[in-house]
């Protein structure tokens, strides 16, 4: 059974920390066996800023590279699970996301 995360979940980094972090990454995954969901969710939520955008899509704010984020999160995955990490760009659009629109506007 997949653990449910409350809707509108996000963690905001303090604005004075934002200038040091500077990077927001979109993390998307497919777990072949959802038994790893809790460990992966905890890994994602360990970042300074994060938002749960859709069922298998999150945004994380960190000073790390995309490869570092991938390597961190891979520790919580099985070899056959899929993971995609991309640095967010300058333009985004969305509808009916789980997190707050304001968080996305501020950090993406």
Q: Above 60 in pLDDT, residue 39?
A: yes
CB-side neighbour CA atoms (13 Å) of 1: 3
pLDDT at position 37 is 83
CB-side neighbour CA atoms (13 Å) of 105: 4
Ranges of beta strands (E only) in the chain are: 10-11, 23-30, 49-54, 57-62, 82-87
3-state secondary structure of 81: coil
Mean pLDDT of 39-65: 93
pLDDT digits (tens, 9 = 90+) for 59-81: 999 999 999 999 999 999 999 99
39 DSSP assignment? H
Prediction pTM value: 0.80
Q: Above 80 in pLDDT, residue 20?
A: no
Contact 26, 71 (CB under 8 A): no
Q: Above 70 in pLDDT, residue 2?
A: no
């Amino acid at each position: 059974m997949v653990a449910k995360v409350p809707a509108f979940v996000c963690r905001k980094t303090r604005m004075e920390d934002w200038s040091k972090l500077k990077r927001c990454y979109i993390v998307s995954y497919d777990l072949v066996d959802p038994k790893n969901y809790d460990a992966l969710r905890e890994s994602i939520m360990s970042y300074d800023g994060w938002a749960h955008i859709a069922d298998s899509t999150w945004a994380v704010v960190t000073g790390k590279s995309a490869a570092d984020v991938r390597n961190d999160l891979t520790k919580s995955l099985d070899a056959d699970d899929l993971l995609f990490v991309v640095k967010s760009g300058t333009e985004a659009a969305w509808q009916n996301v789980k997190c707050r629109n304001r968080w996305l506007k501020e950090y993406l």
